[in-house]
């Protein structure tokens, strides 16, 4: 049956029930009305007429004219309203007694007349009582039938409430279930409705759609399998170790290079839990447990000892879209690491070798400047000064190179001790006071408070950092420039800052100035480009950080942040 027909039937049934209840109520009310009118017409009027006649006889001896007139009028009305059995005979007897009273108005005849009137009153009063009982019984019967009709209507309404919503929603529920099955990938689901149902065209279209989806899934699955095989071939052909994991840390794929590296057969990797396998495999455990949540690369190369030699790998974690998993790629950087170590060793050797001739040049220069040996001309003094400046510059560069090689080779040794921030500041000021006087710079110290915590650092290396920053500030400040150095506390950390009011640093170079050998383009101040890089390494070795705040034309502020005690 169509939904339209079901709804029409529902409303038709409801309308029929309402009309039935209305008709029954109208009939019942009408019957009660008829019963009441019959009692009023048949008996109540007779009682009234009789009582009027009785009243008329009571005033006969005082007002006979009106008495007889009223009596005759009510007697005439009573004769026309005879409704009960024996009432006509009683009315005729009343009329006979009235005529007898008129002939002889004695007390005896009056009493007989009263008796005849009372007989009519009793007859109609009994009739009223009897008919009232009948009306009451009819009302009770009507009430019973009304209750039965109400129960019948309630049953019909309950049946419609239970049956019709289910009947109407059943096709929709079937459609929802079908759509849910399709959403879950069950393309074999089909809908079936009667041909004359409204949802029959919908079911036909739905079934056609599922057939097309099933065909598409089959063709799409074939393409996915082909793409998977192609991907597996490519992954196996890559000579870099590659590992694919899903969200549950299960291994999706692993190439031969990775299998050889972690010393596990490829067929025992795919489909297995990487966490379970890592329990007995140190290298796999380091790869799995070191994965960052959002992907990225490890800062330091992964060191592996295999085949009686050390190998180094850069580890990259590629996070797949929609968090489907992670691809781990290892890049062998052993050759680059060996070249880097060779470079570090070479620089270290060269730096040590350069120190000897530089020291000899400085000693020879001191002998030349000794007036006991002889006095130099102005031109000779200028040459000697140039030789000294360049020698000092070379000595500084070799010192920076030696510090850099210590950091790169991992041989940087820290000797921490308790140090006050002001001691580091005062050391840097003393170490650069000659340079400050030469450039006529004014150094202002913002002394830390007495309650400022102390530092537990290698005072020699941190002092070198502060000295380097203060020397840079002097070099990059204009003549008669102003420099501020100080310290402040931020929560449980200490910040030592050096601020100059030179030309400033372009914001795009704020990170790169801490890289080795980098110099801001257009810089005229001579240097090796290693000072800030070494400073960064020294500070980070203490668990701190160094940063710059600068704007073009407003100077620069270098800030060293260290943990307080």
Residue 405 burial (CB count, 10 A): 21
Q: How many structural domains comprise the chain? A: 4
Q: Quick check: is 125 in a domain?
A: yes
Residue 64, pLDDT score: 82
- Looking at the fold, whether 54 and 149 belong to one and the same domain comes out as yes
* Same domain as 458, residue 512: yes
Concatenated DSSP letters of 464-514:
HHHHHHHHHHHHTSPTT-EEEEEEEEETTEEEEEEEE-SS---GGGTTGGG
Judge if 433 and 546 occupy the same domain: yes
Same domain for 390 and 273: no
Is position 102 within any domain? yes
pLDDT of residue 33: 63
Final residue belonging to a domain, choices 168, 197, 217: 168
Determine the structural domain holding residue 506 and report its residue range: 412-561
Residue 223 lies in a domain: no
Q: Choose one of 388, 406, 424: the last residue of a domain.
A: 406
pLDDT for 488 equals 92
Residue 87 within a domain: yes
Residue 548 shares a structural domain with residue 486: yes
The verdict on residue 221 lying in a domain is no
* Tokens coding 474: 């002097």
pLDDT of residue 226: 65
The reported pLDDT for the residue numbered 376 is 73
> 332, 349, 384: which is the final residue of a domain?
332
**242/381 same-domain check:** no
Per-residue pLDDT tens digits of the chain, which is 565 residues long: 556 666 677 667 777 777 777 777 777 766 666 666 565 556 788 888 888 888 888 888 888 888 888 888 888 888 888 877 788 888 888 888 888 888 888 888 888 888 888 888 888 888 878 877 877 777 788 778 878 877 887 787 777 777 666 666 666 777 677 777 777 766 666 766 666 566 667 667 777 777 777 777 666 666 666 666 666 666 666 778 888 888 888 888 888 888 888 888 877 788 888 888 888 888 888 888 767 777 777 777 778 876 677 788 888 888 876 667 888 888 877 777 766 665 555 555 555 556 667 677 777 777 677 676 677 777 777 777 777 766 666 666 666 666 666 655 555 677 889 999 999 999 899 888 888 998 899 999 988 776 888 999 988 889 889 998 998 899 889 888 999 999 998 888 999 999 999 889 988 888 888 887 778 887 766 666 778 888 888 899 889 999 999 988 889 999 999 998 8
- Dihedral class, residue 553 (left if φ above 0, else alpha if ψ from -120 to 50, else beta): left
Q: Are 383 and 450 members of one domain?
A: no
CATH number for position 311: 3.30.450.20
Q: Count of alpha carbons within 13 Å of 296, Cβ hemisphere only? A: 8
Question: In this structure, are 388 and 266 located in the same domain?
Answer: no
Domain shared by 283 and 377, yes or no: no
Same domain? 146 vs 294? no
In this structure, the answer to whether residues 247 and 307 fall within a common structural domain is yes
Q: What is the DSSP string of 402-443?
A: HHHHHHHHT------EEE-HHHHHHHHHHHTHHHHHHTT-EE
> What is the value of pTM for the model shown?
0.42
> Residue 264 has what pLDDT?
83
User: Does residue 399 sit in the same domain as residue 484?
Assistant: no
User: What is the distance between the alpha carbons of residues 437 and 401, in angstroms, rounded to a whole number?
Assistant: 27
266 falls within a domain: yes
Is 127 part of a structural domain of the chain?
yes
Classify residue 198: in a domain, yes or no.
no
């Amino acid at each position: 049956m169509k939904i339209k027909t079901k709804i029409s039937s529902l409303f038709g049934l409801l309308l029929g029930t309402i009309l039935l209840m209305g008709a029954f109520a109208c009939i019942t009310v009408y019957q009660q009305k008829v019963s009441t009118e019959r009692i009023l017409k048949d008996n109540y009027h007779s009682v009234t007429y009789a009582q009027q006649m009785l009243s008329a006889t009571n005033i006969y001896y005082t007002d006979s004219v009106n008495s007889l007139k009223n009596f005759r009028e009510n007697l005439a009305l009573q004769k026309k309203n005879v409704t009960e059995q024996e009432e006509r005979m009683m009315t005729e007897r009343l009329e006979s007694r009235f005529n007898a009273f008129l002939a002889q108005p004695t007390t005896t005849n009056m009493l007989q007349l009263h008796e005849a009137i009372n007989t009519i009153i009793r007859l109609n009063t009994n009739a009223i009582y009897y008919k009232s009982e009948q009306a009451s019984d009819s009302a009770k019967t009507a009430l019973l039938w009304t209750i039965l009709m109400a129960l019948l209507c309630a049953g019909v309404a309950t049946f419609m409430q239970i049956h019709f919503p289910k009947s109407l929603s059943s096709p929709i529920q079937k459609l929802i279930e079908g759509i849910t099955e399709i959403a879950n990938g069950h393309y074999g689901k089909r809908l079936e409705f009667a041909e004359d149902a409204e949802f029959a065209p919908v079911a036909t279209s739905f079934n056609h759609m599922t057939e097309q989806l099933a065909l598409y899934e089959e063709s799409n699955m074939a393409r996915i399998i082909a793409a998977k095989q192609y991907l597996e071939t490519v992954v196996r052909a890559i000579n870099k170790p590659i590992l694919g994991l899903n969200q549950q840390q299960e291994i999706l794929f692993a190439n031969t290079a990775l299998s050889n590296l972690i010393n596990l057969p490829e067929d025992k990797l795919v489909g297995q839990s990487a966490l379970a396998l890592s329990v007995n495999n140190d290298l796999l455990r380091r790869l799995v447990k070191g994965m960052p949540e959002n992907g990225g690369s490890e800062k330091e190369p992964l060191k592996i000892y295999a085949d009686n030699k050390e190998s180094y790998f850069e580890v990259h974690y590629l996070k797949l879209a929609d968090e489907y998993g992670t691809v781990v790629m290892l890049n062998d950087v052993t050759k680059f690491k060996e070249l880097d170590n060779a470079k570090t060793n070479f620089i270290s050797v060269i730096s040590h070798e350069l120190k000897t001739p530089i020291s000899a040049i400085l000693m020879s220069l001191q002998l030349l400047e000794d007036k006991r040996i002889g006095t130099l001309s102005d031109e000779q003094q200028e040459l000697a000064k140039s030789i000294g400046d360049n020698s000092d510059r070379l000595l500084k560069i070799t010192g920076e190179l030696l510090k850099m090689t210590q950091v790169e080779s991992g041989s940087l040794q820290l000797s921490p001790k308790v140090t006050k921030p002001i001691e580091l500041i005062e050391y840097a000021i003393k170490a650069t006071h000659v340079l400050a006087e030469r450039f006529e710079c004014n150094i202002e110290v913002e002394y830390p408070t007495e309650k400022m915590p102390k530092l537990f650092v290698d005072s020699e290396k941190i002092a070198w950092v502060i000295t380097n920053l203060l020397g840079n500030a002097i070099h990059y400040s204009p003549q008669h420039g102003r420099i501020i150095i100080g310290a402040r506390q931020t929560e449980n950390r200490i910040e030592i800052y050096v601020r100059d009011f030179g030309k400033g640093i372009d914001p795009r170079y704020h990170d790169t100035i801490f890289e080795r050998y980098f110099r801001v383009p257009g810089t005229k101040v001579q240097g090796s480009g290693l000072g800030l890089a070494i400073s960064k390494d020294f500070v980070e070795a203490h668990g701190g950080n160094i940063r710059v705040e600068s704007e073009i034309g407003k100077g620069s502020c270098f800030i060293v942040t260290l943990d307080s005690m």
